[in-house]
Homo-oligomer: A and B are copies of this chain.
Amino acid sequence: MKKLVVKDYEALSEMTANLVLSTMLQDKRVNLSLTGGSTPKRMYELLVDKMAGVEDLSNVFYYTFDETPIRNQEDVVVGFDNLDGLNRCFFEPAAVEAGHLTAMNDENYLDFPQLMADDGGLDLMLIGMGDDGHFCANMPECTQYDQEVYRVELSDIYPWNAPYQESIGENHSDYMYTLGLPALLKVKHVVLIVNGVKKAQAVKRALEGPLDAAFPSSYLRLLPNLTVILDEEAAELIEK
């Protein structure tokens, strides 16, 4: 693991945007999988600006790494929790063309490992982590550590499910899909970004605690080429 501590959220966003852009700037196909959520919001603003200065990004392809289809009461999919957010904060402002984005959904999720392999594998994956220790949609209660991709049936036994269902209002979600640990182990370079004092305890447990199946991000240390970028708040409990 290569660990970096930067001053604050702005510095983390700037360094991460530079790292993502630099990976794009090669004369070969570059396959990226980038996280949604709140952590990368500012990073995407900076990245979209930086990408605007690059004339040709036709060598760059994107893959989502998890998804929760959202259905209405008639069980028709009306949204995708991850893709919709990424569209708003990145794919649309960056004007990513349709053919350059492969989004996980009900039909194709099982094919994702093969599909990414057929495209030459992921060059860079950008992930965050939750204070409950989840990465991608690998949650403490239901991570399948030996699966490249898997589906989780959303159930009331998961403490995060009721709040999640509530958050999507009148709609509901039955399942979520996610890449798992073996898929991340095949990525050439994984970058984990974490900011804020709220996650300091989780960062300590992930990076310095034991491997713990009940805390999925502790397994990230197994990744062969992992860069961790933390702001000072997120890093405040770890060894200097």
Contacts and interface: CB of A to CB of B under 8 A. Distances in A.
Contacts of A154: none
A219 B175 CA distance: 27
B4 A27 contact: no
Interface of A: 1-7, 11, 18-19, 21-23, 25-29, 53-56, 59, 117-121, 145-146, 181-182, 185-186, 189, 210-211, 218, 221-227
Number of copies: 4
A1 B27 contact: yes
B210 A146 contact: yes
A146 B222 contact: yes
A185 B185 contact: yes
B2 A56 contact: yes
A118 B121 CA distance: 11
Contacts of A224: 27, 182, 185-186, 224
A112 to B, nearest CB: 14
A18 B15 CA distance: 8
Contacts of A145: 211, 222
A215 B56 CA distance: 27
B185 A26 contact: no
Contacts of A186: 28, 224-225
A138 to B, nearest CB: 14
